[in-house]
Amino acid sequence: MKNYPINYNRSNNVFDYIDSAFDNLFRPLFYDEKLDAMKTDIRETKDSYILDVEMPGFEKSEISLDVENGYLTIRAEKSEKESEDGKEHRYVRKERSVSCQRSYYIGDTEEDAIKAKYDKGVLTVTLPKKEEKKPEPKKNIAIE
């Protein structure tokens, strides 16, 4: 069950009820609730890109970063906790993520120099840019 905002400002005419039936028809095409678990800000500096990834509720030991084929993948997974009182609980609704993952294309960065820091629920990943190699000008080309 997805929770979307309800528009209470509509009048009570029959056409508004018909319109409301189609309000969320296309929403799943544009909304991915998995992205809510890892909201990311990406900043660019002169020599690097910096990703600030929200990961509240995870410990540093539960987070992993992998680079493969030009993509950085961040994964977080926590084990299920036993209840504190020793009794078994049946969830009526569970919204807190047990695991999440997100990948980012990092094509023009130095993969071997990536650094990551986790503090207060935010993972900060620094991706140094590759140095641009300027082609050397060719001089003294022989004339035939």
Domain boundaries, the chain: 36-80+94-131
Judged by phi (left if over 0) then psi (alpha if -120 to 50, else beta), residue 111 lies in: alpha
Neighbours of 125 (CB within 10 A): 22
The pTM for the full model equals 0.63
Looking at the predicted structure, is the pLDDT value of residue 97 above 50? yes
The amino acid occupying position 96 is R
Looking at CATH, the fold of the domain delimited by 36-80+94-131 is given as Immunoglobulin-like (2.60.40)
CA atoms within 13 A on the CB side of 37: 18
For the ranges 24-28, 35-39, 43-47, the lowest mean pLDDT is seen at 24-28
User: Looking at residue 107, what is its pLDDT?
Assistant: 85
Mean pLDDT of 134-140: 80
User: Comparing C-alpha atoms, which of 130, 133, 131 is closest to residue 110?
Assistant: 130
Give phi and psi for 87, each to the nearest 5: -90, 150
User: Looking at residue 4, what is its pLDDT?
Assistant: 41
For the segment 114-135, what is each residue's pLDDT rounded down to a tens digit?
A: 999 999 999 999 999 988 777 7
